[in-house]
Amino acid sequence: MKPLRRATPAPPVRAIHLGLGNFFRAHQAWYTAAAPDAARWGIAAFTGRSPALADILRAQDTLYTLVVRGPDRDETVVPESLSEVYAGTDHDAWRRLWQRPEIALATLTVTEAAYRRGADGGLDDTDATVQDDIAALRAGEPRDVRTVPGRLVAGLAARRAAGGGPVAIVSCDNLPDNADVAGRVVHELAGLADPALDRWIGDNVSFVTTVVDRITPATSPADLAAVTRLTGNADAVPVVTEPYHEWILSGHFPAGRPAWDAIGARFVTDVLPHEQRKLWLLNGGHSLLAYSGGAHGHTTVAQALADPVCRRALERWWDEAARHLTLPAAEIAAYRAALVERWSNPRIEHRLAQIAADGSQKIPIRILPVLRLSRAEEHLPAGAVHVLAAWIGHLRGRSTPIRDAGAAPFAAAAGSPRDVLALLDSQLAADRELVTALDNELTALDGERGAS
């Protein structure tokens, strides 16, 4: 087995990334490496906290294998855009990088929960870790910050102190208007820690909205073996992804950006129609399969999709969501057909448990918008009711417990669908027809489980 080694020096760092997970390495790092100006754009990437992945990547010359897994065969590529890697706890490296004048942008893939949002969508300043970060920043102790908003504010404070120029922050997490989400939590935290810094951020930082898509499951031991077989390389941290990829962006890059558009990224004035199409059909459909498929004993997306009961519920959900999408009907139909093809890829093992994580963050953005729009038209959306009931069943502990830091109040309320709705939206909780439909759906799910 050959070690992964660079033949030429890594590109100079002009971008920072936070959240050195699989998706970043299949998407933004791949786009940057494949762009025609790749030689001018290197990325310095930080893990959430642990040094493990950074240590392994450093030992591989910051290279990794991306396995592009089609329905019939694998292709491999070694993206070269990752120039430096650090543990998230390396605060000195973080601040040093933000001070470099040539840094033009920072991308984020930190999961929905990491933005530390409260019920109103802004910064949750009742969160003890957020409060600690505010205190650390006020005291001039940026080494002590731990949250994503806190780390961004610490980096921006270092940039301002060094006389650094404007920069773009690009959230690549599955959130509606992710620029607004990132911008709000950063501004609110900076405002509480240092109002002058907050004004500087207002003048110098552009938050860019994105819709990102490329199904990238967690790497399995079988994937590690496949990489060795395919390439003869020793790679301890390869990433497996699908051939499909999409990146739609809206916003300003005051200090420039790689030519991502030359390889298919689309710059638009309004991402909303695309964002709703992706979040409702793909991510909403994923959540449906995660809870409904989990309840029916399936473990992967492809298995759940092949189950006629889950598939019928999915098609109902898609019909309901499509009623409220503004893109042309033909485009929506083509996207639905493409999703069925992508999810049927038997060689991509996308585990339902991975998708089911953090449901308390995902359900409100993937399912509730369609539910609200349907109820405003007095339509009772059976697909949305099915996802909610399957999620409540999951909260009641019928499926394997899954990581979700925000689940506790929902799990405590799960005995009563009305109480779960009350935590999500008081207007929906007062909707008696909806509550009855949810009760009935939970009973039906129980019956199906009993019968199977």
Under the rule (CB under 6 A), what is the footprint of ligand 44H? 112, 174, 213-215, 282-283, 286, 355
241 CB-near residues (< 8 Å, 6+ apart): 22, 26, 27, 30, 66, 67, 68, 69, 214, 215, 216
Cα Rg, the chain, nearest whole Å: 22
The answer to whether 186 contacts ligand NAD (rule: CB under 6 A) is no
Q: Which is nearer to ligand NAD, 246 or 419 (CB)?
A: 246
The answer to whether 81 contacts ligand NAD (rule: CB under 6 A) is no
d(CA 197, CA 403) in angstroms, rounded, equals 35
d(CA 46, CA 55) in angstroms, rounded, equals 11
Q: How far is the CB of 27 from ligand NAD (least distance, A)?
A: 7
Q: How far is the CB of 21 from ligand NAD (least distance, A)?
A: 2
Question: Which listed option, ligand NAD, ligand 44H, none, makes contact with residue 421 (CB within 5 to 8 Å by class)?
Answer: none
- Are residues 10 and 80 in contact, defined by beta-carbon separation less than 8 angstroms? yes
Candidates 124, 173, 188, 223; binder of ligand NAD (CB under 6 A) is 173
The answer to whether 216 contacts ligand NAD (rule: CB under 6 A) is yes
- Are residues 394 and 360 in contact, defined by beta-carbon separation less than 8 angstroms? no
Q: Which is nearer to ligand 44H, 14 or 27 (CB)?
A: 27
Q: How far is the CB of 315 from ligand NAD (least distance, A)?
A: 22
85: left (phi over 0), alpha (psi -120 to 50) or beta: beta
- Count the Cβ atoms, other than its own, within 10 Å of residue 287: 24
According to DSSP, residue 115 is labeled G
The answer to whether 51 contacts ligand NAD (rule: CB under 6 A) is no
Q: Which is nearer to ligand NAD, 16 or 437 (CB)?
A: 16
Q: What is the DSSP pairing of strand 2-3 with strand 233-234? A: parallel
Question: Which listed option, ligand 44H, ligand NAD, none, makes contact with residue 48 (CB within 5 to 8 Å by class)?
Answer: ligand NAD
Question: Which listed option, ligand NAD, ligand 44H, none, makes contact with residue 21 (CB within 5 to 8 Å by class)?
Answer: ligand NAD
Residues contributing to the site for ligand NAD (CB under 6 A): 18-24, 47-48, 88, 109-112, 114, 148, 173-174, 212, 214-216
